[in-house]
Amino acid sequence: MRTPALPADSWLQRPAHLAWLADEGMRLLAFAKASRVEAGFAALDACGRIPVNPCAELIHTTRMTHCFALAHIQGIPGYADLVDHGVAVLQDALRDAEFGGWFVDATRRSGKSAYLHAFVALAASSAAVAGRPAAQSLLERAIIILEAHFWSEQEGAVRESLSRDWQQEEAYRGANSNMHATEAFLALADATGDRVWLLRALRIAERLIHGHAAANGHVVIEHFDQHWQALPDYNEANRADPFRPYGSTPGHSFEWARLLLHLEAALQDAGFAAPGWLADDARGLFARASRDAWHADGTPGLVYTLDWSSRPVVRARLHWVHAEAIAASAVLLRRTADPIYEDWYRRLWEFAASHLIDRQNGSWHHELDSGNQPASRIWPGKPDLYHAYQAVLLPRLPLAPSLATALAAV
């Protein structure tokens, strides 16, 4: 596949814009450094402070380790020790030495989820590409757990969650965990050279996107029972859940659109025939999500969730949704050179600069209300570097290989 040449006036070609992205990345990294605690990395408040009695959670520790590894790979001083700290706690304080896998947080809260273990694999693969000591050992542990407990060859997808001893399984399947497994599998393919991870990622995408979402008007169905029957009313009583909200989540459509194109490019680079539906479904997902979620309630920005008639349910504007839309528009623009994605890319960055980027206290506001004012109903504080940081990196990189490997090759 030869990607078309971008027009000379594309922001992706403009040195000043690329420099702005790099500067914003440095600003995000500097803010996130304060998250280090003894047992990993903890959530920061809106001003970048560690709360009293912080608890290092697996989600923050893995995402921070991944991002700090990306910084180190780029040759930015001051992040190697943070990567090593993350790897060390993932090898010790957060690891379940008795049953294998990783605890939810440093209080040793148990329950093993594919979502969190995918981030362990992502962090380990990025740290390994960064050449950090002990990262390879962590990567090998993560692969063993994924293959032994989460990957289902029969289903062509990952199982959702299990008890600490792996004996009880949740009777649920989720698109979110499988989406992040797809991301992790792309990284694992690059870090290990084992192409089986690409084929597994393709099977996930074929089930969730080409099977369910494409048949649903390119709206991602998030919740399923154990037999992959859709659960459209799931969490109707808890509509604003940060991980399993009711209805459709347009931010995941953007994220999936990007991952489909990364997968397409990775398959082709590995010598596989990439099915044409990967690019077609990526376009369909972006078109539907941008049409339904932008300005959905009469105010600029992308709403968090929609019902099955495409009406807004949770009207909050979350930073990660916009970060993923930015990244998806950049990837689609690079893949197609279609000016519609240039328009979206510029529109989304203008929105982020006007409403999400916090020049006073640092990082990005993680949540805005329906009037685009800072809020904290769903995401208090600023605990997440991952989405915004990847949004400033991906526009500068090719479609494949995955982030850490691509940065190492620059």
Catalytic residues: 252, 387
Q: Are strands 317-318 and 367-368 parallel, antiparallel or unpaired?
A: antiparallel
Determine the Cα–Cα distance for residues 106 and 95; give it in Å rounded to an integer.
Answer: 9
Structure token pair of residue 13: 């070609």
Please list, in sequence order, all residues whose beta carbon lies within 8 angstroms of the beta carbon of residue 129, skipping any fewer than 6 positions away. Answer: 69, 73, 190, 191, 404, 405, 408
Rounded to an integer, what distance in angstroms lies between the CA atom of residue 31 and that of residue 362? 6
SS3 96: coil
Who contacts 181 (Cβ-Cβ below 8 Å, separation ≥6)?
114, 118, 146, 150, 157, 158, 201, 204
Alpha helices in 219-377 (DSSP H): 250-269, 277-293, 319-336, 339-351
Spatial distance between the Cα atoms of 198 and 204, rounded to a whole number of angstroms:
10
Q: Are 399 and 335 in contact (CB under 8 A)?
A: yes
DSSP characters for 305-334?
-B-TTS-BSS--EEHHHHHHHHHHHHHHHH
Structure tokens at 74: 């780029």
Q: Which residues face 152 on adjacent strands?
A: 157
Q: CA-to-CA distance for 273 and 281, rounded, in angstroms?
A: 16
The full DSSP string for 48-72 is: S-PPSS---BHHHHHHHHHHHHHHH
158 forms bridges with which residues in the sheet? 151
Half-sphere exposure of 44 (CA within 13 A, CB side): 25
- Could you tell me the end-to-end alpha-carbon distance of the chain, in angstroms, rounded to an integer? 20
